[in-house]
Amino acid sequence: MTRSKLLLAVCSLLAVAACTGGPVAPTGPVDPAATAAEEPPVAEVPDVAGARQYDLPLDRYQMTHEEGLAIASATQTLTAECLRRFGFTPKTFPVPRDPAATDRRYGINVHEEVDRFGYHPPPEQLVEKPDYRPSEAEHRVALGQDVDHHNGQDVPEGGCMGEARRKLYGDDGVPSGQDPASAAALDAESGARYRQDSRVLEVYRKWSGCMEESGYDYADPWAANNDRRWTESDSTTTTEIAVAKADLACRDEHRVVSVSLAVEAAYQTRMVEQNSVRLDAERDRNQTAVRRAVELVGR
C-alpha cells in the first residue's frame, strides 16, 4: 500500500477504538537552517499538474495497494480469531478495494474535483467507517492494554493484534514501518523536509502573492487547505469552492505541485542511497508477510 495506511485500515475494519501502532514516524517541522545546507540537487521538474497519483523513489520499498489489502484482511481475520478465544464476538468488515482515490500528498491538483467539491475529496473516494465500537474489555484485549488475563487465559503480548502481527511478520511482530529507518518513516521525513526546502518555500511565496491578487490571505497552500471553515465541515460551500479554484490556479501558474514532487523525489533518492541495505531487507520482509497473509487467510 503506497505510503501505507495499513494500520488505519486494520483498525477501521476491526472498529478498534483509539487504535495505535506504537512509535509514529517523524512528521514535524525541520530546522530550515539545517535543511538549507543539506538540500539535494534537482535535475528536472516534471509537469504533474492535474495528476491524481505520483511516483516517488521510496514507493518501490512499500507495499502496493493490493499487498496492503492482503495484510489488512489477514490481520483482521487473525485478530478476530484471537478475540473469539477470549469469548468476544468481534465484528469484521469487507476490506475496501478501490485504489483510485486521488493522492493529496501535495494538496489539491485536479480541477474536476475542485470545481465540484473544493478541498473535500469526492464522496466516492471516501471509505465508510464501520458503525460499531467494541466494548472496553474487547478493546483492551485487542491491543493488550492494561490487561494480562481475561476469562482465565493469558492475553498475548501486544494483545490479539500483536499475536496477528507475529504470525505475519515473525517473532518480534513489529511491522517494518515502525523502524525509524523504514520506508514509511523515511517517507514521512521526506514529507517534512520538502516543505522546508528553499525551492519549495519560494514557490509557496509566489503562490501566496498570487492568492493575494485574488483577495485571499494565506501564507502557503497548506494554510488554505487546512482552513477550519472546511476542515470542520462535511459539506462543501460556494466560498470553499471559490478559494480552492483560486488556489489551484495559483498552484498551476507557479508549478507548486511539480516543484514539490521534484524536490521531495530528490530527498528520497538520497535516502534510498543511504539506506539501501535496510530498505532491501524491508521489502523482502514485507513480501514474506504478504505470502503468509495469503496462506493464512486462504487456509
Residues of the chain where predicted confidence (pLDDT) is lower than 70: 1-37, 96-100, 172-178, 180, 298-299
Residue 213 maps to a domain:
yes
Neighbouring C-alpha atoms within 13 Å toward the C-beta of 109? 23
Residue 133 maps to a domain:
yes
Residue 103 maps to a domain:
yes
Burial class (CB in 10 A: 0-12, 13-18, 19+), 57: buried
Rg of the chain (C-alpha set): 21
* Residue 129 near residue 279 (C-beta atoms within 8 A): no
Separation CA 50–CA 111 (nearest Å): 7
pLDDT in tens, 116-144: 999 999 988 887 777 778 999 999 999 99
Helix (H/G/I), strand (E/B), else coil: 150: strand
Q: Strands, E, within 68-203: which ranges?
A: 149-150, 153-154
Length of the chain: 299
pLDDT in the model for residue 62: 92
Residue 34 maps to a domain:
yes
Residue 1 maps to a domain:
no
**What is the separation of C-alpha 168 from the centre of its chain, rounded to a whole number of angstroms?**
21
pLDDT in the model for residue 181: 75
Residue 93 maps to a domain:
yes
Range of 174's domain? 6-109+118-297
Total domains in the fold of the chain: 1
For helices 238-254 and 256-274, give the axis angle rounded to 10 degrees: 70
